[in-house]
Structure 1
């Protein structure tokens, strides 16, 4: 018998410089929605939120484990669902290689142990044939989070130099707007770096040290992309030691950082990274997944993104009461589902995204949700 299973993730980051207000509320509403409108059983819904210690905390390790368990337990015919409400971010290139360009799109767990777009692609690839997994990502830069899947609605795969330049120039913007009514679900680099400085007690963290700092913090629990990056830099460092008699500033900040750690802790420090296979240096480069982002996605992955990859998603609190706060995209989904079910109908993936876009425009939000899936799922019922 086919089952419907879900993982719901909400991060409000309370008490940090990245604090949001509506993410836990999004999870609560979606939990009720799944049971009341889509026939999910409470026993098959896993909730990870950072506001209540009675629940599993949405750390990077726990989120990975929950999604892997979801996919690993799936059988043909099952409907899998993942909803994430929280910050998204983009990490710039750091290897120092001339052809390392672009950004890594990530979601931001409560402990800052990022989960990269590459990982979401791998989750989707593991979904059994005859089974599908729908992902709702209500976070900034969420377009193309499973980049090998065909873009049906949106323009995240069509980013040109002008858009990329605009994104790069705006990543340092303040999180909260003038009215303190809409908060961007984006973690700008200055805020991220400040949080990493607080977590490590180090004042010299900057672009060039972010991924190695993440490896230093999380070791074997770090993302595969971060471990591959550390593996790559380690071997580059070894090569420089042999060829040049020292790192000689060859890698700039990354080389200096790693050399100091190896000097302090020995080569065993890099063991979790060295045990992570790197097929080619392209797997290490930022934005490498975008190279295949025009794929036709014949797998079982469906992504409904809160915005395009160069946009931000809003965390809204129009009444000023945090208990009423919500993610603009999550709220739009809830409103569309309620409207459709009242008339006894079912909403398709395509219509849900299009109607959510209309709702967001009506409510004064500038983000543009996207749909990424193979052609067969465009007009399929959402979670049907």
Structure 2
């Protein structure tokens, strides 16, 4: 792959202030990432869009706004461009029926208005890329493994566990259980159903996820070779940690985002996507997060390509 001509970036941090789901480090995560992209990787600040739900934000990270910004990035992309999306916030797993009576769990991120963005939405974005452009997603959210539907797993579920469990850590999981999301939607729609698609379509209509709007979603060509690269903060069945200021050295942050920053600071040279994920796993393990295993999903070639095509 050649070096990119443009580097188009969307950074999204959701703290969900003044709600029962409030987090504390997500906005800090994406602000720190913006500084790193400019100072280390030479990204143009004019090509970096930042969406947060902190007080005073002119554009908040609703599902519609996030998808609009992602879609505009893909629309602007040309061959050789680098697209980067860093998300820090809640994630969830959605039960969905596929192929008769067999159920599976699908991954989604939770924008500040709960208009879920699913693995199918990210797959659709990757499929729209022009040939030669790449799309790297760094997702610091629970259940983020597999967030690009059908992307090949390069570094997956951890094979070992510390039987003693995690150290005494103070953090909050960055997850909202499906039943909590369902109850939230039911209170807004007054519809008595456990079908989340019914609620989402009633609330968001055409702005809801493709997963709930396309009845023949399985017919979409997901398996063609692509340039999607996912660095997930954990496996699909795990949670990511939101670290409080005491543990994080004075500033709240996501454990995964902080570990990535630590890896980049300690290794000023070029790193492959594989190296970033493996080193981040070690940092988290050393910090005591033994049940959070970052993963890598991408093609064989992109697993060993340079993270963000650093020049």
2:208 aligns to what? 222
What secondary structure does 1:34 align onto? helix
Counterpart among 270, 277, 287 of residue 363 in structure 1:
287
2:184 aligns to what? 195
Pair 1:314 & 2:241 matched? yes
The TM-score, its normalising length taken from structure 2, stands at 0.88
2:305 aligns to what? 380
Counterpart among 170, 176, 182 of residue 181 in structure 1:
170
Counterpart among 261, 273, 292 of residue 334 in structure 1:
261
Change (3 A) 1:354 1:210: same
Cα distance in structure 2, aligned partners of 1:39 and 1:148: 31
Cα distance in structure 1, aligned partners of 2:94 and 2:257: 25
Alignment of 1:260-275 (within 5 A): none
Change (3 A) 1:53 1:332: same
Alignment of 1:117-128 (within 5 A): 117-128=119-130
Counterpart among 100, 103, 106 of residue 105 in structure 2:
103
Counterpart among 338, 343, 350 of residue 274 in structure 2:
350
1:144 aligns to what? 146
Cα distance in structure 1, aligned partners of 2:227 and 2:100: 35
Change (3 A) 1:25 1:210: same
Q: How far apart are 1:147 and its partner, in Å?
A: 2.6
Pick the structure with more strand per residue.
2
Cα distance in structure 2, aligned partners of 1:125 and 1:137: 19
Give a deviation string over 1:326-370, Cα, whole Å, max 9, x none.
1111000000001111xxx11111110000000000001120000
Change (3 A) 1:21 1:180: farther
Cα distance in structure 1, aligned partners of 2:303 and 2:169: 36
Change (3 A) 1:147 1:227: closer
2:117 aligns to what? 115
Further displaced range: 218-227 or 5-14:
218-227
Q: Is the 8 A contact 1:21 1:322 kept in 2?
A: no
Alignment of 1:286-297 (within 5 A): none
What secondary structure does 1:383 align onto? helix
Change (3 A) 1:17 1:347: same
Cα distance in structure 2, aligned partners of 1:210 and 1:195: 11
Counterpart among 79, 90, 94 of residue 87 in structure 1:
90
The runs of at least 4 consecutive aligned structure 1 residues that moved more than 4 Å come to: 320-323
Report the RMSD for the aligned CA atoms in angstroms.
Answer: 2.6
1:240 aligns to what? none
The TM-score, its normalising length taken from structure 1, stands at 0.72
1:171 aligns to what? none
Pick the structure with more helix per residue.
1
Q: Is the 8 A contact 2:146 2:236 kept in 1?
A: yes
Cα distance in structure 2, aligned partners of 1:227 and 1:323: 44
Give a deviation string over 1:309-334, Cα, whole Å, max 9, x none.
11111111151799711111100000
Q: Is the 8 A contact 1:94 1:209 kept in 2?
A: no
